[in-house]
Copies of this chain bind each other. A is one copy, B any other.
Amino acid sequence: MAKMTMREAINQAMRLEMARDPDVILIGEDVAGGRGCPVDDGEAAGGVMGVTAGLYSEFGAARVIDTPITESAIMGAAAGAALTGLRPIAELMFADFFGVCFDQLYNQAAKFRYMFGGQHGAPMVVRTMVGAGMGAGPQHSQAIYPIFAHIPGLKVVLPSGAYDAKGLLIQAIRDNDPVMFCEHKMLYGEEEEVPEESYQLPLGKARVVREGGDVTVVALGRMVQLAAEAAATLEKDSGLSVAVIDPRTISPLDVDTILDSVEETGRVVVVDEATPICSMASEVASMIVSDGFSSLRAPIRKVTAPHTPVPASPTLEAGYPPTAAKIREAIEAVYNYR
C-alpha cells in the first residue's frame, strides 16, 4: 500500500467518484484553477490548498466549476442541484466563512427532506477547511463544526488522517443527505498508508485508535494524533492503559463505541480543538453522564480551546488548541481521581 497525504487521498476520493458517477460535480472558488485568466491553466491551483488539482483537466469545465466569491450562491446552487438530481461537492474554502452562506445549508439543504415530508433530500457534500495552526488569525482558523453538528439534517465528518478521509469522503458523496466534510488544514500534508482503489467507511462508526482499560479518551480530528501520542507516552512512562476513540463523524455520533469503553474504564477525557461552550466536547460528556453514569468513576475532563477567538500570534496560537502535554495531564488527573 502506498503512502499518501490527506490532500492526495481527498483528491483521489473525488476523482474516483466523479469517474464513477456523472452526477457528481465539483463547485467552488478556484477549484478549477481559476478561470478567466491570461493563462488558462487548469493545473494552476485546484483550490488555494491544491486539493482539487487536476480534476478540471480530467473532468472539464462542465463538472469542475469555478465561481465568483459568493458562498450563498455556491451553497444554494449545490442545494438546488442536489434537490433536482445531481450530487454536488461544494467547497467552502474556510469553514470560518459559513456565516455568509449558512442559510442555504441549514434552513434549506438540511431541512428539505423533513419539511417536504420526505420527498427528496439534498445529496451534497460541503468540503471545508477547519482548525488553527497557520497563524492565519481569528477569521481563518476556527474549528466551527459544533455549529454544524447542532443542526438536524446535517451530517458532519471530521477525518483525522488520509485513510479515513478517503473512505469517509466516498461514503459522504454517496450519502443521500447533506454532509459537512471538515478537513483540518494542518493534516493535508500528513501521510498514511492508503489503498489506491475505492473503499467506503460508514458514517456514524467510530474508530478505536487504541484499546485501553484505565481511561477513555475521545478525541476529534487533528486531536486524535495528539491523544494517541499522550496515551503512548503514559503507557510507556506509567503503565497506564488508555483507550483512544476517534468518532470520525460527529453527527451522527457513535455513542455505543464510546459507552462500551467507558463501561470498562469509568474515566473519561474528551479532547477537541473547538471552543468549549455548546461544543462536541460538551456533547460527548453530557451523553456519557446521561447514558453511562453508572460506569463513571471520575469527573469528565474536557480539553479544548479556550472560549476566545484564535489569535494570530504564533506564540499565543501555540497555547490555543490542546497539546499532548495538556491531554496527558488530564488523563492523569481523571486516572488519579478518588
Contacts and interface: CB of A to CB of B under 8 A. Distances in A.
A19 interface: no
A279 B301 CA distance: 18
Contacts of A291: 299
Q: How many A residues touch the partner, as a band? A: 35 or more
Contacts of A286: 281-286, 289, 300, 302
Number of this chain's copies in the assembly equals: 2
Interface string A135-156: 0011100000011011111000
Contacts of A281: 286
A122 to B, nearest CB: 13
Interface stretch (A3-11, A98-106, A189-197): A98-106
A115 interface: yes
A307 B152 contact: yes
Given A147-B147, A277-B149, A300 B309 contact: no
Interface string A190-212: 00000000000000000000000
Interface of A: 72, 96-107, 110-111, 114-115, 137-139, 146-147, 149-153, 251, 253, 275, 277-291, 293-294, 296, 298-302, 306-309, 311-312
